[in-house]
């Protein structure tokens, strides 16, 4: 019995498992960075949508509706590649000579000198930006709605105090909007968490890739412990992990909403 426990303990703490546990950092980083960027893009998008100038309004609307009309995974694969190519293209215009371009045999990049090597950190940042862009479109909608929910009287009062348009927007409308935006943003956050499961599609050795590698059946003693197909067990762990993260996030957001709503409830009592 104790031998069994010792065996499982050492199996579950071998380097391969430790790498798996460590890879949770990629998922958490992508979620947090993606979440922050989604709010930033959401604020930009909502401000554009609220703009007095038609072209800006159109850009905001176009961004939020087109991105939401396409699967997140498509954008998730497209954006890092497109961004890499755009950088390499601009770079190529600076460093590539015609001879270098002629010598290039592959379809891309334009010349060898203009090659941007993508490794895990770069992919992780690009993945976070993609998540931010995709879910920023959803956040745009949420924040746009919330900005409109801010009582008109408050904005008028701010204007009456002589605040400029920018000041009204930044000091009053955006500050007051959070309370209305929080339920929607909590929903967007849940979407981002779930989308972090896609990291392995960008060659990041994330929790999903390691679950596959650890669970795949092994027949060769030279490779490690010989075992059958254990994949579903490892995926079950991830399944439970994500549910727990959702649960914790929900609790966090509820606490946040109670806090943010304190002043508002008082207002109702007057």
Partner 1 sequence: MKKTLFAAAAILALTSAANAQEVVRIGTEGAYAPWNFMDDAGKPAGFEIDLGNAICAEAKLTCEFVVNDWDSIIPNLLAGNYDVIMAGMSITDERRETIDFSDNYFPADPSRFAAEAGETLDLNALEGKRIGVQGGTIQAAYAQEHFGANNTVVSFTTADQAMADLAAGNLDTILADGAYLEPVITASNGAFEFVGEDILIGDGYAAGLRKDEPELKGKINAALETLKKNGTLDKLIAQWFDGRGPFFAS
Partner 2 sequence: MDHFFAEVVYFAPAALFNIYFAAASIPLGFVFAVFLALGKDSRNPLLSRLSRGYIYAFRGSPLFIQFFMFYSLALSLNISVWKPMGISWFVLHPLFIGPLVLILNTSAYTAEIFHGALRAVPRGEIEAARAYGMSWPQQFRQVIWPNLIRLAWPAYTNEVVFLFHATAIVYFALPVIGQQKDLMITAKELVERDYNAFMHFSIAALYFLAVSLVVFFLFGLVYQRLMRHMPSRPRMRFAPKWLR
User: Rounded to the nearest whole angstrom, what is the least distance from the CB of residue 74 to partner 1 in the complex?
Assistant: 16
Q: Does 223 bind partner 1 (CB under 8 A)?
A: yes
Which of these, 203, 188, 176, 173, lies nearest to 261 by C-alpha position? 176
8 binds, among partner 1, partner 2, none (CB under 5 to 8 A by kind): none
CA distance 40 to 46: 10
Residue 40 found at the interface with partner 1 (CB under 8 A): no
Asked if 220 touches partner 1 (CB under 8 A), the answer is: yes
Residue 77 lies near partner 1 (rule: CB under 8 A): no
- Choosing from 115, 154, 167, 246, the residue that interacts with partner 1 (CB under 8 A) is 115
Closest CA to 199 of 116, 131, 118: 131
Taking the complex as a whole, the smallest distance from the CB of residue 88 to partner 1 amounts, in Å, to 9
Is 103 among the residues that bind partner 1 (CB under 8 A)?
A: yes
Distance (Å, whole) CA 162 – CA 150 = 19
Burial of 199: CB neighbours in 10 Å, binned 0-12, 13-18, 19+: buried
Q: Which CB, 28 or 243, lies closer to partner 2? A: 243
| Residues 45, 144 contacting (CB under 8 angstroms) | yes
Strand partners, 227: 218
Task: Please give the residue ranges that form the binding site for partner 1 (CB under 8 A).
Answer: 14-20, 84, 87, 90-91, 94-95, 103-109, 112-119, 203, 205, 212-213, 216-226, 228-229, 231
């Amino acid at each position: 019995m104790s031998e069994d426990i010792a065996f499982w303990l050492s199996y579950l703490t071998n380097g391969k498992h430790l790498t798996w546990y460590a890879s949770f950092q990629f998922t958490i980083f992508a979620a947090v960075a993606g979440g922050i960027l989604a709010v930033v893009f959401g604020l930009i998008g909502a401000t554009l949508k609220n703009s007095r100038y038609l072209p800006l309004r159109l850009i905001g609307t176009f961004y939020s509706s087109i991105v939401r009309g396409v699967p997140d995974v498509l954008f998730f694969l497209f954006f890092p590649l497109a961004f890499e190519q755009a950088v390499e293209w601009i770079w190529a215009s600076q460093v590539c000579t015609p001879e270098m371009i002629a010598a290039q045999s592959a379809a891309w990049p334009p010349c060898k000198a203009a090659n941007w090597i993508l490794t895990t950190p770069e992919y992780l940042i690009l993945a976070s930006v993609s998540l931010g862009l995709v879910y920023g479109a959803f956040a745009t909608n949420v924040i746009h709605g919330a900005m409109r929910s801010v009582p008109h009287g408050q904005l008028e009062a701010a204007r009456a105090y002589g605040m400029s348009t920018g000041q009204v927007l930044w000091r009053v409308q955006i500050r007051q909007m959070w309370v209305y935006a929080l339920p929607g943003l909590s929903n967007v956050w849940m979407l981002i968490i779930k989308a972090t499961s896609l990291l392995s599609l960008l060659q990041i050795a994330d929790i999903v890739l390691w679950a596959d590698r650890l669970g795949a059946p092994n027949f060769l003693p030279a490779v490690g412990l010989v075992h059958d197909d254990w994949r579903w067990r490892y995926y079950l762990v991830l399944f439970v992990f994500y549910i727990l993260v959702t649960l914790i996030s929900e609790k966090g957001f509820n606490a946040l909403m109670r806090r943010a709503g304190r002043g508002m409830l008082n207002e109702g009592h007057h």
